[in-house]
Structure 1
Amino acid sequence: MPNARSSVSCGGREGSAQPRGDDMTIALAEPAGIRRGSFMAKKKTRQAVLIWCFLAPSLLIFLLYRILPLGWNLVLSFQAWSPLKPAVWVGLENYEEILTDEVFWQALWNTLYVIGSAPIGIAMALGLALLVNSDIRGRNVYRTLIFLSYPLMTVAVAIIWRWMFDERVGLINYAARALNLTDTPIQFLNSFTWALPSVIAANIWQMLGFYMIILLTGLQNIPGNLYEAAEIDGANAFRRFLRITAPLLKPSIFLCFVIGMLNSVTSFDLIYVMTGGGPGRATEILVTYIYKLGFVQTRFDYAAAVTIVFFVLLIVIAWAANRLSGGNAGAVDQD
């Protein structure tokens, strides 16, 4: 019996002297977990600092050449200022003048007209992308030839198309007379009717290859098994395009539209070289009008007000395009 009691007592002492397995695991795991958490936090901090170091030059350039000029334009639009006199605060007078400025409204209408032509170029590029994405012979050559228009300098494109539209030696007038479409040369760039469509044609031609590459990339990212399943279900080519291709290309089409919109409203060099905004105000857009206000008429205050209105217009158009593209741009219609 004493041996039994002593053994029980000894067992009790042993149990009280040694920690349990769970307590020992927690005691050993806590420092390791704390060390790992501290290491991960330091690693994330270093990564964040490295990312900001790489972003800093671009953000600095964006701040100096985008944000600060826009802020200065906003302040200047509420002032009367020219290089020869001090600034005077005039409130909304510059914006009130916009309401009665016929040239501004003509330039605004021409700008919207040019923006509205972007879907035409995108539709043409989509047709070309579908063509060069098919199994046709020499498709890589066709892709290269179509894309060659985009890397050209805009001034070079403007000179090429000025020659193409020339009423005396232009290729377009020569072809029109050879096909008996007209007896007299058409003065494309000196006509109030044809000047703006001619500029738009040159702009579309330059951007066509860029649109095609974006849309071609979108087409090649569509899984082929979707077309195979649709073909097995009896869907013809049109329904396959409508139910598969078009929905999955929405992000690419939207990107093309945004780029085309920005290119259309900022194509100052193309219009300046081809027509200079003429004849009259037939090809005047907001960006050329702003240039003339500031650097020809030296009305920098009024030009700043028109610039702010132009900036707001771009934001509204981009927002509307984003809304029209829908939230489920990449979803395939299951009907």
Structure 2
Amino acid sequence: MAMSAAPERRRTSFLRRATTRQAILVWCFLAPSLLIFLLYRILPLAWNIILSFQAWSPLKPAVFIGLENYEEMLTDEVFWQSLWNTVFIILSAPVGIAMALGLALLVNSNISGRNIYRTLIFLSYPLMTVAVAIIWRWMYDERVGLLNYVARLLHLTDTPIPFLNSFFWALPSVVVANIWQMLGFYMIILLTGLQNIPSSLFEAAEIDGATAGDRFWRIILPLLRPSIFLCFVIGMLNSVTSFDLVYVMTGGGPGRATEILVTYIYKLGFVQTRFDYAAAVTVVFFVFLITVAWAANRLSGGNAGARDME
């Protein structure tokens, strides 16, 4: 009895040591990435939260002031204008995704030259955002811009349209440039999702007499929910962090017409040296992003999918 128990104990001890060595090896591989994440994500976020409750600038020591920075936001017209502009840009993401879905359905069909169309549509995404901003700033130019030239050529207007110098046109013009840059990325993600849908589902639907609209609403759209959610999250993050696109095209102007939260935070910190108030706006911005991502997950049926897996 004792002799049979000894090999079992040795086997258990060996497995325990092997598991420990494997865990140590895993943590050794993860340590560099975790350290970088800690240094460049967690610690700055924690310091930013602490700084938001203080009055501080490079020329004076920090003083704890409680919620005063957050109270200032309630009466800060520029903050509310920037928040509204940020929401407007986020709401434009579904428009770009809908356009990309239409293009994905088109290039997924049996049309001649579809590979060429895929490449041409995707070409906008690898471009640097600064390059995209310069291209669209030229296209919007009142004197030599392509859009004004075509508008006058077609007799749509007699005077140049000040796309980037008008309170009415500036923000929509930036949104169009942002959608154009992301359109190729959205299309590739959605096209991959379309190609992963089993063809047997469409064949069965055709046998049952389903129309093209029925197949879209009952097969394509439900099965593309994960891809659509991914596109929305990436599009949302790209929209609200598109500092370079806005700064190169308009600088946040005219006035505050295209000011978004990320450009406002930059100006508060590095132009006005109000790092304390900029930290408070950053915290609100962070909470805002988490809230939008959570709402998008709920709308995409993420929780329902998790329950189904359980």
The answer to whether TM tops 0.5 is yes
CA distance in 2, matches of 1:171, 1:285: 27
Query: Is 1:122 the equivalent of 2:97?
Result: yes
CA distance in 1, matches of 2:167, 2:196: 44
Unaligned segments of structure 1, at least 5 residues: 1-22
Which aligned pairs between 1:223-242 and structure 2 lie closer than 5 A? 223-242=198-217
Query: Is 1:101 the equivalent of 2:80?
Result: no
Secondary structure, counterpart of 1:189 in structure 2: coil
Match of 1:92 among 67, 70, 74: 67
Distance 1:143 1:42, change over 3 A: farther
Query: Is 1:202 the equivalent of 2:177?
Result: yes
Match of 2:36 among 33, 41, 61: 61
CA distance in 2, matches of 1:63, 1:103: 32
Alignment correspondent of 1:16: none
Contact 1:250 1:330 in 2 (8 A): no
> 1:220 deviation in Å?
1.0
Q: Encode CA deviations 1:165-196: one digit per residue, 9 max, x unaligned.
A: 11111111111111121111101000000000
Query: Is 1:320 the equivalent of 2:288?
Result: no
Alignment correspondent of 2:256: 281
CA distance in 1, matches of 2:183, 2:258: 21
> 1:36 deviation in Å?
4.4
Contact 1:251 1:329 in 2 (8 A): no
Distance 1:298 1:220, change over 3 A: same
> 1:142 deviation in Å?
1.3
Query: Is 1:174 the equivalent of 2:149?
Result: yes
CA distance in 2, matches of 1:72, 1:183: 55
CA distance in 2, matches of 1:116, 1:33: 63
Distance 1:241 1:34, change over 3 A: farther
CA distance in 2, matches of 1:131, 1:228: 19
Moved more, 296-305 or 135-144: 135-144
Distance 1:246 1:218, change over 3 A: same
CA distance in 2, matches of 1:58, 1:138: 43
Moved more, 142-151 or 32-41: 32-41
CA distance in 2, matches of 1:264, 1:329: 27
Secondary structure, counterpart of 1:188 in structure 2: coil
CA distance in 1, matches of 2:139, 2:74: 38
Contact 1:293 1:302 in 2 (8 A): yes
CA distance in 2, matches of 1:197, 1:330: 37
Distance 1:222 1:33, change over 3 A: farther
Alignment correspondent of 1:52: 27
> 1:225 deviation in Å?
0.5
Unaligned segments of structure 2, at least 5 residues: none
Distance 1:163 1:330, change over 3 A: farther
> 1:39 deviation in Å?
3.9
Alignment correspondent of 1:155: 130
Moved more, 232-241 or 273-282: 232-241
Distance 1:31 1:239, change over 3 A: farther
> 1:324 deviation in Å?
1.1
CA distance in 1, matches of 2:12, 2:103: 54
> 1:46 deviation in Å?
2.9
CA distance in 1, matches of 2:305, 2:156: 44
Alignment correspondent of 1:252: 227
Distance 1:330 1:316, change over 3 A: closer
Aligned length: 307
- TM-score by length of structure 2 reads 0.94
> 1:58 deviation in Å?
1.6
> 1:244 deviation in Å?
0.6
> 1:27 deviation in Å?
6.7
Secondary structure, counterpart of 2:179 in structure 1: helix
Moved more, 50-59 or 197-206: 50-59
* Aligned amino acid, residue 134 of structure 1: S
Secondary structure, counterpart of 2:56 in structure 1: strand
Alignment correspondent of 1:3: none
Q: Encode CA deviations 1:61-108: one digit per residue, 9 max, x unaligned.
A: 111111111111111111111101111111111111110100000000
Identity %: 80
Contact 1:166 1:173 in 2 (8 A): yes
Q: CA RMSD in A?
A: 1.8
Contact 1:118 1:257 in 2 (8 A): yes
Alignment correspondent of 1:8: none
> 1:43 deviation in Å?
3.4
Distance 1:137 1:271, change over 3 A: same
| Rg (Cα) greater in structure | 1
